[in-house]
């Protein structure tokens, strides 16, 4: 049986960190990472490219676009692509790539580590093995592989800062899990043909702001966001999707924003389950202001979808239409 050909794109992150005078910093190349996993060469033909060398806190929308371009260039020549990435913003990158790499028929798997690959107790080797297992299983789409689990790229969220089980698939089943007898696919798209030809659509608008409401948020904050030129706002509201309108009434300011062509999406501060703006009066008043329901999307998925949607169109009505569509499993 012919070995699958895999490209490792290294971008830095904890997995590649070494000690420096100012603390841990990315320093190990992709080839250096692979050298510590010689057993993978038995089952795969592997090449590596160092495309970035950053702590993931410094990976921003411009880097997402750059990664999407590098993946697009490599796709015809490989059976799968693995991206090593810092964990802190990996969920944002995975979500953004999920929208930009349209109609993928091959796997693009992001992984990283909580402990550098060269240190004792590292989880890096296991996470990389899980990523290669996802490629070997014939899956398609953007995924995150971590802690013996494979999850959709737009459903992964980092939920722990120190634990090896740092990522969870939020409000969606895992694609697969690793057991002693191999990969168990639980919610798989293995072998599925893409609905349309692959297309790179990596235009983004970075004029997007995320606001987490607290009791007592001042309405005037929205005047500031309008003055700063934001075109999209994501609001993490309370519970199923509510905001206060007594004493400090936020609704007139939200209506002013939508009247000025600003797209506003509302999701829940709760990590699990969906928001439903039609359930309570506080949510229905939000709908009357013209906001977009976030339903069960993760914060990372909704923020990057807003950036991506505004990169495709300047028409708020078309942004709403984009949010109504499920592109990559980001919404149930």
Report H helices in 51-123: 61-74, 90-100
Q: Would you call 109 helix, strand, or coil by DSSP?
A: strand
Domains of the chain: 4-200 (3.40.50.1170), 208-324 (3.40.50.40)
C-alpha to C-alpha distance for 129 and 204, rounded to whole angstroms? 32
Buried b (16+ CB within 10 A) or exposed e, 109-143: bbbbbbbbbbeeebbbbbbbbbbbbbbbbbbbbbb
Q: What is the pTM of this model?
A: 0.95
Residue 137 has a pLDDT of 94
Based on the number of CB atoms within 10 Å of its own CB, is 102 exposed (0-12), middle (13-18) or buried (19 or more)?
A: middle
C-alpha to C-alpha distance for 247 and 240, rounded to whole angstroms? 21
- Is 87 part of any known ligand binding site? yes
Residue 189 has a pLDDT of 63
| Total residues found in the chain within this entry | 332
C-alpha to C-alpha distance for 119 and 137, rounded to whole angstroms? 29
Q: Which residues are catalytic?
A: 14, 87
User: Cβ distance 49 to 78 under 8 Å?
Assistant: no
Residue 193 has a pLDDT of 62
C-alpha to C-alpha distance for 56 and 302, rounded to whole angstroms? 19
- Is 11 part of any known ligand binding site? no
- Is 72 part of any known ligand binding site? no
Two structure tokens written together for 223: 């005047």
* pLDDT digits (tens), the chain, 332 positions: 789 999 999 999 999 988 776 677 777 899 999 999 999 999 999 999 999 999 999 999 999 999 999 999 999 999 999 999 999 999 999 999 999 999 999 999 999 999 999 999 999 999 999 999 999 999 999 999 999 999 999 999 999 999 999 999 999 999 999 999 889 998 766 556 667 899 999 999 999 999 999 999 999 999 999 999 999 999 999 999 889 899 999 999 999 999 999 999 999 999 999 998 888 888 898 999 999 999 999 999 999 999 999 999 999 999 999 999 999 999 99
């Amino acid at each position: 049986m012919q070995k699958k050909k895999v490209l490792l794109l290294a971008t830095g992150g904890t997995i590649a960190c070494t000690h420096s005078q100012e603390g841990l910093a990315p320093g190990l190349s992709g080839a250096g990472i692979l050298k510590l996993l010689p057993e993978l060469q038995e089952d795969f033909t592997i090449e590596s490219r160092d495309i970035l060398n950053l702590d993931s806190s410094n990976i921003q929308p411009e880097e997402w676009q750059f990664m999407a371009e590098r993946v697009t260039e490599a796709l015809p020549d490989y059976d799968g692509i693995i991206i090593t990435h810092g964990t802190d913003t990996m969920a944002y990158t995975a979500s953004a790539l999920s929208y930009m790499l349209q109609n993928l028929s091959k796997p693009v798997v992001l992984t990283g580590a909580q402990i550098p690959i060269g240190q004792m107790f590292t989880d890096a080797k296991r996470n990389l093995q899980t990523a290669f297992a996802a490629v070997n299983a014939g899956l398609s789409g953007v995924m995150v592989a971590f802690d013996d689990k494979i999850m959709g790229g737009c459903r992964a969220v980092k939920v722990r800062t120190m634990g090896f089980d740092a990522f969870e698939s939020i409000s969606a089943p895992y694609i697969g899990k690793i057991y002693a007898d191999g990969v168990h696919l639980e919610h798989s798209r293995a072998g599925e043909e893409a609905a349309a030809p692959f297309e790179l659509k990596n235009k983004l608008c970075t004029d997007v702001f995320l606001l987490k409401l607290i009791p007592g948020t001042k309405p005037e904050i929205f005047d500031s966001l309008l003055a700063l030129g934001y075109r999209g706002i994501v609001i993490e509201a309370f519970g199923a999707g509510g905001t206060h309108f007594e004493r400090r009434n936020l609704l007139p300011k939200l209506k002013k924003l939508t009247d000025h062509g600003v797209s506003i999406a509302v999701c829940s501060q709760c990590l699990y389950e969906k928001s439903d703006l039609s359930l309570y009066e506080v949510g229905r008043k939000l709908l009357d202001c013209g906001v977009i329901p976030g339903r069960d999307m993760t914060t990372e998925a909704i923020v990057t979808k807003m950036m991506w949607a505004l990169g495709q169109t300047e028409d708020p009505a078309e942004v709403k239409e984009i949010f109504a569509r499920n592109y990559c499993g980001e919404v149930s």
